Amino acid sequence: MTDKIIMYDSPEAATYKTGIEGWVSRDGHFYGKDEHMARWAGCTHMPCEKCGAIKERNFWCNPCREKRKAEEFTKLPVEKWDGTTPVCVFDSDTYFFDEGELLDFLADIPEDQEVHLCKCEPIHLRIIDSDYWCDDLPDEGELPPEVEEAMEALNKAISAAGPVAWEEGSIAIDVADLRSRMENEQGETVHE
C-alpha cells in the first residue's frame, strides 16, 4: 500500500484556522498550551538551570561546562608520561608531539594553575574485508581471487602502516612529574 498523495493546493495540505489560542514561537510555530517549548524554540539564550548564568540555548554555560570538564578529568586514571606518546590538553584541539613543545607549553603556565593533559591514543586505518562489496555481489557470491589477494596485501600494508592520526585518550598525564622533569632540565642547563 502506498501513502496517499496530497497536492500542494489541496485543502488537506494546509487549512486556515480561526478562533484558536496558544503559544507561538518567534519563528511562527504553534505550541498550544506549551509555553516552555514555545519560549525555548523562540529564544537564542536562556539562564542556566544549574547556576543561573546566561547561556546559548543548546549549550552548557561556561562555568558549568568548565566544572563538568574538571569533574570528568579527575575521574581519569593518572600515569607518568612515557616521553614519546603524543599528549593533548583535555577537551581541546591542542596537541604536543615532542617533549620540547610540551615543556615549553608548561613553562608558560603558572605552577598554581591547573593543567589537564591526556595521553593520546592512535587512530589506525581500518582493514577491509569482503563485506565491503556485499551490496555489489550476488547472494553467496565470492570475490574474484585476484581481488581477494589484493585485499590481503592491502590489509597487510594497512596493519604495518602504524597510526595515521592521534586522538584524546582516557588517561591523564601526571603534570607534577612533567614539571619536575622541566626543573631538572633547567637545573642541568644552568650547571653546564
Q: Which residues pair with 30 in a beta bridge?
A: 24
Distance of alpha carbon 88 from alpha carbon 94, whole angstroms: 6
Cβ atoms 160, 153 nearer than 8 A = no
Q: What is the pLDDT of residue 28?
A: 84
Report DSSP state, residue 113. Answer: S
Q: What is the pLDDT of residue 192?
A: 47
Model confidence, pTM: 0.65
Query: Which H or E run contains 51?
Result: none
Q: What is the pLDDT of residue 191?
A: 41
Boundaries of every domain in the chain: 1-43, 46-75
> What tens digit of pLDDT does each residue of 96-124 get?
999 889 988 998 988 888 899 999 999 99
